[in-house]
């Protein structure tokens, strides 16, 4: 999932000014990308045969990892406002819940589900042929191999790129009404 914090106000920020964007856009100076904590699928791959991928939950260790990540994120953002985009997968929502316990509610401006940043869809695991399919992927090439009933790495790249394009259009329009013109996010 994605978390943005600390805006570069108009006319400020060396990196944004160097690109000439600071006068036009209100850019966050921090973007934190975070994967979910340890899931049941990370420790027991056979679970994908009985539980749909998007419903795989976190383990207790994964919940602890998520709380620890939340504390580290809070160290980075300090008192700044926070905008969060997250995948609709169960393990990601559970990670989000743990992180939101560590960030004061008054700092959180937006929490928005964004399906374009979900994990790669590897198709259905139920038939037990995934081991052979993964061998074929190595032979064919990891990035361009499309899993049966699933996605290739290139497919994921395209949909995530679409999300980033949307995100930058939001920066340009500055639609975050919960953040005042002098507040950072």
Find, among 127, 118, 124, the residue nearest to 149 by Cα.
124
Instruction: State the Cα–Cα distance between residues 163 and 113, nearest whole angstrom.
Output: 12
Instruction: State the Cα–Cα distance between residues 43 and 48, nearest whole angstrom.
Output: 11
Among the listed residues 36, 38, 94, 151, the single catalytic one is 36
Catalytic residue status for 30? no
Tell me which DSSP letter residue 78 carries.
T
Instruction: State the Cα–Cα distance between residues 134 and 145, nearest whole angstrom.
Output: 9
Q: Which residues pair with 85 in a beta bridge?
A: 2, 112
55-56-62-64 Cα dihedral, nearest 10 degrees: 40
Beta strand segments in 36-171, E: 82-86, 108-113
Instruction: State the Cα–Cα distance between residues 3 and 75, nearest whole angstrom.
Output: 13
> What DSSP string describes 133-160?
HHHHHHHH-TTTPPPTTS--HHHHHHHH
Among the listed residues 6, 38, 94, 119, the single catalytic one is 119
Active site residues: 36, 119
């Amino acid at each position: 999932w994605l978390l943005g914090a600390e805006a570069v106000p108009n006319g400020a920020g060396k990196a944004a000014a160097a690109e000439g964007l600071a006068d036009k856009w209100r850019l966050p100076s921090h973007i934190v990308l975070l994967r979910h904590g340890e899931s049941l699928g990370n420790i027991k791959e056979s679970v994908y045969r009985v539980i749909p991928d998007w419903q795989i939950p976190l383990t207790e260790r994964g919940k602890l990892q998520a709380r620890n990540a939340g504390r580290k994120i809070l160290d980075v953002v300090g008192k700044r406002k926070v905008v969060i985009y997250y995948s609709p997968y169960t393990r990601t929502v559970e990670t989000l819940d743990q992180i939101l316990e560590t960030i004061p509610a008054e700092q959180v401006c937006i929490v928005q589900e964004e399906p374009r940043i979900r994990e790669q869809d590897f198709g259905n695991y139920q038939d037990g042929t995934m081991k052979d399919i993964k061998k074929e992927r190595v032979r064919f090439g990891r990035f361009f191999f499309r899993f049966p009933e699933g996605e290739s790495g290139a497919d994921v790249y395209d949909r995530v790129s679409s999300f980033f394009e949307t995100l930058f259009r939001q920066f340009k329009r500055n639609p975050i009404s919960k953040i005042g013109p002098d507040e950072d996010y």
